């Protein structure tokens, strides 16, 4: 479906909820700042000129994989694709294998990026050519075209997000403009206390291709009074530099992996409005350390590619999650149904939850995550949390062996990143203090780093490959 174009001055507000009304590709007047960086700020007028210019370069095809590394160029490309009436495909990773898999599902597609190597992990995929077929490389100087403010029909299919594969094969999740619009209004309401009438600067370490990154660093600046830093800083020094580019204290959108690195780095940081984190479990210890070290609130967000963000908590002080307004959770035998204003129908999550009278919830693991050994049940997620709580453990995961032992039992295995001062014996002694003996890991493997993807998730295939290697008997 093609975008419906209207004249400037008829742009509806970001919080419009009338599903029958076409909605602007970007909200606000022409002077509102969409993005910023070391080279200055980009207003809506310049941004839309770039969108129109890039749209004129794109081929005729129903789908485009947006592989842009630069966040501002991702925004421009995403909107240019929508302006052409096409849908953006968001691969679960930017490795050549993930790109090829998504394109195999959508053969009438092309790739768009801002680097000669298309942003693929060429070290990991060195056997492949660096450019995928049908690759559109954005010019260094973005073209600009004049025109009206584009409007999109509410049922326009603007994106298809793919799950990370942390629990199996990545799944496709279509997103309409109405879904994104309504969900973004909820996210904006949840952040309103951070900035009032002023523009909220956002610095994000997460890739925009991930749904969390899409919601918090692409849709927020498109549809709200938010401006995003155009880069994707990775190292603590780069994050500090990006935060200093902000005109006022910024919201840092990150992951627990990046947050731990930032807390432990000792790098001097400017004042931060707040920190949002998601994609992997955040321990209370890390949340408290981050609040003490960085001097701001850490808000953990809950959601998924299927549901988008729908709840939050201040992890340093609470265990229960608070759903956004209008969101209702319904426990069912296979998990939890999520009812939300931005969802056309309830979506099933594999997570098991316990609700209180106010509708707040506590996670109790996943149905597929529950294991039984010797007649005793436990959650692998809970076992992993106990592992991560041990002083000296930097990262780790507990999982059940794929193969059974001589007694027909699939035992627990642990993969750990830990300080050299923490011996295997001391680690196991610490676990004995909180675990039933049947859930102690029978094999313990130490590694320099877990094979997490760029959002901090641990794909099951990568974990299986790691466990297939040599392990140390504990």
- How many whole angstroms separate alpha carbon 251 and alpha carbon 195? 10
Question: What pLDDT, on the 0 to 100 scale, is given for residue 169?
Answer: 57
One domain, residues 313 and 386: no
**Closest C-alpha to 213, from 277, 158, 152:** 277
One domain, residues 220 and 141: yes
- How many whole angstroms separate alpha carbon 130 and alpha carbon 96? 8
Question: What pLDDT, on the 0 to 100 scale, is given for residue 472?
Answer: 41
**Closest C-alpha to 297, from 272, 321, 279:** 272
| Residue 358 domain flag | no
- How many whole angstroms separate alpha carbon 146 and alpha carbon 51? 10
| Residue 219 domain flag | yes
Tell me which of 1 and 91 has the higher pLDDT.
91
Q: pLDDT by residue (tens digit) across 162-193?
A: 876 555 556 789 999 999 999 999 999 999 99
Q: pLDDT by residue (tens digit) across 192-211?
A: 998 888 999 999 999 999 99
Burial 316-340 (b: 16+ CB within 10 A, else e): beeebbbbbeebebeeeeebbbbeb
| Residue 338 domain flag | no
Q: pLDDT by residue (tens digit) across 269-299?
A: 999 999 999 988 888 999 999 999 999 999 9
One domain, residues 69 and 172: yes
* CATH (domain of 395): 3.30.300.30
One domain, residues 133 and 36: yes
- How many whole angstroms separate alpha carbon 40 and alpha carbon 46? 12
3-class SS of residue 252: strand
- Distances 431 to 180, 405, 436 between C-alpha atoms, Å: 43, 22, 9
| Residue 430 domain flag | yes
What's the total number of domains in the chain?
2
The domain boundary, picked from 318, 348, 382, lies at: 318
One domain, residues 382 and 238: no
One domain, residues 128 and 240: yes
- How many whole angstroms separate alpha carbon 116 and alpha carbon 136? 10
Q: pLDDT by residue (tens digit) across 34-81?
A: 999 999 999 999 999 999 999 999 999 999 999 999 999 999 999 999
113 — phi, psi (to 5°)? -155, 180
Tell me the residue length of the chain. Answer: 474
One domain, residues 314 and 425: no
- Taking residue 59's Cβ as centre, other Cβ atoms within 10 Å add up to 12
Instruction: Report the sign of the C-alpha dihedral through residues 15, 162, 153, 178, in that order.
Output: negative
**Closest C-alpha to 258, from 221, 212, 224:** 212
Question: What pLDDT, on the 0 to 100 scale, is given for residue 214?
Answer: 96
DSSP-assigned letter for residue 321: B
One domain, residues 379 and 297: no
Question: What pLDDT, on the 0 to 100 scale, is given for residue 213?
Answer: 94
| Residue 402 domain flag | yes
Question: What pLDDT, on the 0 to 100 scale, is given for residue 333?
Answer: 84
Question: What pLDDT, on the 0 to 100 scale, is given for residue 382?
Answer: 83
In angstroms and rounded to an integer, the radius of gyration of the C-alpha atoms of the chain is 23
Task: Please give the average per-residue pLDDT across 302-323, as a whole number.
Answer: 95
CB 305 within 8 A of CB 165: no
Q: pLDDT by residue (tens digit) across 429-449?
A: 999 888 888 899 988 999 998
* Confidence category of residue 410, pLDDT binned at 50, 70, 90: confident
Domain span holding position 199: 4-318
| pLDDT above 50 for 342 | yes
Q: Mean pLDDT in the chain?
A: 86
Task: Please give the average per-residue pLDDT across 377-395, as a whole number.
Answer: 87
Q: Say which residues have a Cβ less than 8 Å from residue 119's Cβ, sequence separation at least 6.
A: 67, 68, 69, 94, 113
The domain boundary, picked from 299, 318, 337, lies at: 318
CB 142 within 8 A of CB 73: yes
273 — phi, psi (to 5°)? -65, -45
| Residue 199 domain flag | yes
* Confidence category of residue 11, pLDDT binned at 50, 70, 90: very low
Q: Which residue has the tokens 């949390």?
A: 385
One domain, residues 43 and 157: yes
Instruction: Name the pairing type of β-strands 361-366 and 370-373.
Output: unpaired
- How many whole angstroms separate alpha carbon 165 and alpha carbon 151? 34
Q: Which two tokens stand for residue 52?
A: 């129109």
| pLDDT above 60 for 239 | yes
One domain, residues 63 and 157: yes
One domain, residues 265 and 410: no
| Residue 331 domain flag | no
Q: Say which residues have a Cβ less than 8 Å from residue 95's Cβ, sequence separation at least 6.
A: 120, 121, 124, 125
Question: What pLDDT, on the 0 to 100 scale, is given for residue 118?
Answer: 60
- How many whole angstroms separate alpha carbon 357 and alpha carbon 355? 7
Listed ranges 89-93, 385-389, 412-416; the one with the highest mean pLDDT = 412-416
Instruction: Report the sign of the C-alpha dihedral through residues 305, 307, 311, 317, in that order.
Output: negative
Q: pLDDT by residue (tens digit) across 105-144?
A: 898 999 999 988 665 543 334 444 455 568 899 999 999 9
Task: Please give the average per-residue pLDDT across 305-323, as a whole number.
Answer: 95
Question: What pLDDT, on the 0 to 100 scale, is given for residue 131?
Answer: 55
* CATH (domain of 60): 3.40.50.12780
- How many whole angstroms separate alpha carbon 294 and alpha carbon 169? 37
**pTM of the model as a whole:** 0.80
| pLDDT above 80 for 457 | no
Q: Say which residues have a Cβ less than 8 Å from residue 356's Cβ, sequence separation at least 6.
A: 320, 362
DSSP-assigned letter for residue 193: G
| Residue 152 domain flag | yes
Lowest mean pLDDT segment, chosen from 26-40, 183-197, 346-360, 405-419: 405-419
Question: What pLDDT, on the 0 to 100 scale, is given for residue 132?
Answer: 58
Could you please report the per-residue DSSP string of 118-174?
TT--TTTTTTS-SS-SSEEEPPSS------PPEEE-TT-EEEEEE---TTSS--EEE
One domain, residues 280 and 164: yes
């Amino acid at each position: 479906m093609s975008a419906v174009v209207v004249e400037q001055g008829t742009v509806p507000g970001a919080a419009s909820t009338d599903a029958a009304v076409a909605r602007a590709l970007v909200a606000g007047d022409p002077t509102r700042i969409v993005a910023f960086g070391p080279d200055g700020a980009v207003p809506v007028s310049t941004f839309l000129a770039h969108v129109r210019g890039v749209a004129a370069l794109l081929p005729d095809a129903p789908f485009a994989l947006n592989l842009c590394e630069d966040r501002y160029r991702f925004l421009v490309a995403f909107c240019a694709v929508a302006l052409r009436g096409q849908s953006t495909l968001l691969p679960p990773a930017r490795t050549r294998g993930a790109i090829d898999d998504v394109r195999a599902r959508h053969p009438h597609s092309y790739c768009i990026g801002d680097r000669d190597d298309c942003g693929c992990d060429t070290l990991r995929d060195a056997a492949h050519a660096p450019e995928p077929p049908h690759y559109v490389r954005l010019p260094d100087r973005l073209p600009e075209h004049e025109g009206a403010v584009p409007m999109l029909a509410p049922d326009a299919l603007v994106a298809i997000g793919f799950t990370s594969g942390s629990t199996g094969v990545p799944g496709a999740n279509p997103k309409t403009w109405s879904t994104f619009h309504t969900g973004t209004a909820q996210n904006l309401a949840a952040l309103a206390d951070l900035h009032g009438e002023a523009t909220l600067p956002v610095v994000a370490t997460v890739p925009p291709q991930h749904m969390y990154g899409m919601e918090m660093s692409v849709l927020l600046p498109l549809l709200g009074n938010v401006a995003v830093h155009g880069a994707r800083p990775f190292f603590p020094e780069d994050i500090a530099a990006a935060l200093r580019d902000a005109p006022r204290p910024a919201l840092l959108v990150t992951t627990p992996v990046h947050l731990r690195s930032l807390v432990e780095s000792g790098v001097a940081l400017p004042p931060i409005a707040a920190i949002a984190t998601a994609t992997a479990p955040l321990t209370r210890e890390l949340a408290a350390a981050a609040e003490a070290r960085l001097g701001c609130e850490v808000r953990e967000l809950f959601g998924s590619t299927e549901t988008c963000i729908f709840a939050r908590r201040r992890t340093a002080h609470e265990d229960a999650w608070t759903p956004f307004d209008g969101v209702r959770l319904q426990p069912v035998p296979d998990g939890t149904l999520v009812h939300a204003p931005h969802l056309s129908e309830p979506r099933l999550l594999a997570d098991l939850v316990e609700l209180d009278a106010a509708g707040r919830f506590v996670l109790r693991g996943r149905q597929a995550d529950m294991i039984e050994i010797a007649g005793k049940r436990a959650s692998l997620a809970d076992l992993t949390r106990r592992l991560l709580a041990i002083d000296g453990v930097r990262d780790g995961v507990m999982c059940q062996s794929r193969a059974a032992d001589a007694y027909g039992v699939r035992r627990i295995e642990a993969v750990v990143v830990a300080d050299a001062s923490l011996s295997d014996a001391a680690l196991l002694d610490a676990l004995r203090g909180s675990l039933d003996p049947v859930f102690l890991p029978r094999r313990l493997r130490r590694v320099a780093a877990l094979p997490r993807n760029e959002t901090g998730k641990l794909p099951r295939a990568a974990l299986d490959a790691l466990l297939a290697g040599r392990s140390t008997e504990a």
